[in-house]
Amino acid sequence: MYYVVSALLILLCLIFLLEMYHSMKRSSKAWHLIETYRDDLQNQRLIDEIYDYCQNDWKLRRIIEANNVTAADINKIYQKLLEWGNFHKGHRFIPITAFFYVNTFDYLVKHKNDEAKALTLHCMNALHI
């Protein structure tokens, strides 16, 4: 019994460490993009970098595959978020940050044809802004 409990504790610690690593990597990439493109919000490389990150992230990739998301879809959503969410709050900038979290990214791709204000407000609520 002791070995089972020890093994479970070790497994939980490993899962925790992996999730913390994933979270730090995500936050670092989002902040890097926010700072890099702060004065160049219409640069196509930004959309490409967001799309590349989403394709390489194991959680976001599943959403891309399930919804057949393209770089054009990312750009369309980004432009809508930029319309109503073009402001910085702390280390967050809705038009970029929203693509890095599973719940907001999933919502955005499923509601990409909704109004810009509704998309932005949903992301603001989800990200506590």
Average pLDDT, the chain: 92
pLDDT at 87 over 90: no
Other Cβ atoms less than 10 A from the Cβ of 126: the count is 14
Residue 80 confidence class, pLDDT cut points 50, 70, 90: very high
Domain edges within the chain: 2-126
Please write the tens of the pLDDT for every residue from 33-72. Answer: 999 999 899 999 999 999 999 999 999 999 999 999 999 9
Where do the DSSP E strands lie in 1-129? Answer: 88-89, 92-93
- pLDDT score of 21: 92
Please write the tens of the pLDDT for every residue from 9-42. Answer: 999 999 999 999 999 999 999 999 999 999 899 9
Separation CA 45–CA 23 (nearest Å): 23
Contact (Cβ atoms closer than 8 angstroms) between residue 54 and residue 69? yes
Please write the tens of the pLDDT for every residue from 107-119. Answer: 999 999 999 999 9
Residue 77 confidence class, pLDDT cut points 50, 70, 90: very high
- pLDDT score of 128: 82
Separation CA 24–CA 87 (nearest Å): 23
- pLDDT score of 3: 84
